[in-house]
Structure formats: structure tokens, C-alpha cells
């Protein structure tokens, strides 16, 4: 990357932060620049300045930009073997507690918190369970609240759960009301906002740290560990690993699951 490219990207990042409150400094730059370049080319822009002015003025371009840089891909039971392990070890233990506080942090369009709610409901009544689900992207949260999913996306739900927790709705499916009503959706930026009040028994934070710089990851894991109760768990994505978890007061409990030390 030339110095001029680097400088104009840095300027764009700073303009976006001031205008939209989205801090791209903590996202890996090469990956982010590729995404933005593709988007700019598609819309006929070849410099950051003109593209920045356009996204400020045009709401559709702005929504498209935020959607594209935040990357909303999600699915029910993503990495099913890891959810099965979480269920067998962690949820089996937590389900015995009278009160539970859970957080799906960067929940995208809702598949992740509803997966957690289904597994938990299959183990215990949901009374006494408080499940928070947050994301930076408001349109993704709107889809999560609507809880209506295409037949294709529901395919990854095991048949018994599909039968029990989904209701056909035209050519799609709706998540059962008892699950929807127990999830509290809220907009939250993991890099800028104060963290919700814990202590949480379990935090699910998957497939977002992969986009963050090392500095962003440090902020993330320090903050997440800070709102876990001692003995509480952090479930990460199937390609993610926390280096030196002890620096955050965490220890590896199971593959892709960390425990806050007492």
C-alpha cells in the first residue's frame, strides 16, 4: 500500500468515525480496505473523499456501507459440534442454577441467541433466565427482533428443535413466541460503548473478533472478562483462540470455551 493510500484511508476512517460513530481503527485494515474498495468500485467511486461525501448524503449508500463493513453472516447452530459440546458441559451445569444471566455479544440477525435459547429451553424452564443480545448494526437487530427466517436458513436447525421451536409463516418460519419474548435485543458497540452490567454466567462472542486488530481484541476480551462472574464462561468462534487467556483472568475450560478464574 502506498503512503498516499494509507493517508487517504486514515482520513476516511477518521471522517467515518466523526460522522457515523463507527470506529474502523480497530478492524484489520487490509481486509477492511478490500471490502470498501469493492463497494466503491460497484458504486462508481475511485476515491475515498467522494465516497465519504456520498455515504453521508445518501441514506441507501450509508446503510449499504455499514451493512457491508460489519459483516452480518450468521446461522443457527453455527459449528454444531461446538454447540453440542457447550450444551453437554456448560449448559448442563448452568441449567441447574435458579437465575441465569446470558449475553450473545455481536448477535447479528438473531440466529445465535435463538440457538442458545432453544438449547436452554430444552434443558429447563426459562423463568429466571435473562438473555441479552446485542450488535452494532441496527438493521441486523431489526431482523433479529422480527424472528422470521427463510426455510433455507432454518435447515441448519436439527429437526426436533425445528418442530418444537418454529412456526410456519407463509414461505418462511417464525421462532416460537416464548423464545422471542425472552431475548432482550439492544444496540451495542463492543469497541466504543460501556459494557452492560454483569455479572454474566455465559457470554457468547463468536466470529467478530476475527475482524479486529490485536488492540481491538485486547479491549474486547478484557471488557468481556470484566463482566463475567468468577466461574462464568466465554464461548468463542470455531476459528478463534485467545492468546494468553490468563492476561484477562481467563482459562481454557473446553475447546473454544474459556472460564473466568475465581
Ligand X SMILES: C[S@@+](CC[C@H](N)C(=O)[O-])C[C@H]1O[C@@H](n2cnc3c(N)ncnc32)[C@H](O)[C@@H]1O
Task: Summarize as ranges the residues that interact with ligand X (CB under 6 A).
Answer: 70-74, 78, 106-108, 112, 135-137, 140, 189-191, 206-208, 237
Residue 3 CB, shortest distance to ligand X, in Å, is 28
Beta-bridge partner residues of 183: 131
> Closest approach of Cβ 191 to ligand X, in Å?
4
The burial class, CB within 10 Å (0-12 / 13-18 / 19+), for 7 is exposed
Nearer to ligand X (CB atom), residue 39 or residue 191: 191
For residues 101 and 206, which CB has a smaller minimum distance to ligand X in the complex?
206
Nearer to ligand X (CB atom), residue 71 or residue 94? 71
In the complex, least distance from residue 136 CB atom to ligand X, rounded to whole angstroms: 4
Range 148-153 contact pairs with CB under 8 angstroms and sequence separation of 24 or more = 148/172, 148/173, 148/174, 148/175, 149/76, 149/111, 149/173, 149/174, 149/175, 153/75, 153/76, 153/111
Contacts of 173 (CB under 8 A, 6+ apart): 148, 149, 150, 151, 154, 162, 166, 167
Return the number of the residue (210 or 261) whose C-beta is nearest ligand X.
210
> Which residue, 100 or 208, has its beta carbon nearer to ligand X?
208
Least distance in Å: CB of 253 to ligand X? 19
Q: Is 201 helix (H, G, I), strand (E, B) or coil?
A: strand
| Smallest separation, CB 205 to ligand X (Å) | 7
Contact 113, 107 (CB under 8 A): yes
Residue 32 Cβ vs ligand X, minimum distance, rounded to whole Å: 11
Whether the Cβ atoms of residue 94 and residue 100 lie closer than 8 Å to each other: yes
Closer Cβ to ligand X, 175 or 230, answer by number:
175
Amino acid at each position: 500500500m502506498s503512503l498516499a493510500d494509507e493517508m487517504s484511508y486514515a482520513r476516511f476512517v477518521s471522517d467515518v468515525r466523526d460522522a457515523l460513530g463507527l470506529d474502523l481503527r480497530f478492524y484489520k485494515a487490509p481486509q477492511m480496505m478490500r471490502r470498501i474498495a469493492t463497494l466503491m468500485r460497484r458504486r462508481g467511486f475511485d476515491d475515498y473523499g467522494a465516497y465519504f461525501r456520498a455515504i453521508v448524503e445518501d441514506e441507501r449508500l450509508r446503510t449499504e456501507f455499514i451493512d457491508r463493513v460489519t459483516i452480518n453472516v450468521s446461522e443457527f447452530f453455527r459449528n454444531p459440534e461446538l454447540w453440542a459440546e457447550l450444551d453437554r458441559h456448560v449448559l448442563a451445569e448452568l441449567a441447574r442454577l435458579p437465575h441465569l444471566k446470558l449475553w450473545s455479544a455481536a448477535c447479528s440477525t438473531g440466529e445465535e441467541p435463538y440457538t442458545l435459547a432453544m438449547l436452554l429451553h430444552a434443558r429447563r424452564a426459562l423463568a429466571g433466565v435473562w438473555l441479552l443480545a446485542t450488535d452494532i448494526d441496527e438493521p441486523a437487530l431489526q431482523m433479529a427482533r422480527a424472528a422470521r427466517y427463510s426455510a433455507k436458513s432454518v435447515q441448519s436447525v436439527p429437526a426436533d428443535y425445528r418442530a418444537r421451536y418454529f412456526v410456519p409463516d407463509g414461505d418462511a418460519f417464525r421462532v416460537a413466541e416464548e423464545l422471542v419474548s425472552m431475548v432482550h435485543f439492544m444496540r451495542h458497540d463492543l469497541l466504543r460503548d460501556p459494557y452492560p452490567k454483569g455479572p454474566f454466567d455465559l457470554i457468547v462472542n463468536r466470529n467478530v473478533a476475527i475482524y479486529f486488530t490485536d488492540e481491538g481484541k485486547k479491549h474486547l476480551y478484557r471488557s468481556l472478562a470484566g463482566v463475567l462472574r468468577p466461574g462464568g464462561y466465554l464461548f468463542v468462534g470455531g476459528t478463534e483462540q485467545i492468546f494468553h487467556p490468563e492476561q484477562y483472568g481467563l482459562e481454557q475450560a473446553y475447546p473454544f470455551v474459556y472460564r473466568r478464574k475465581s
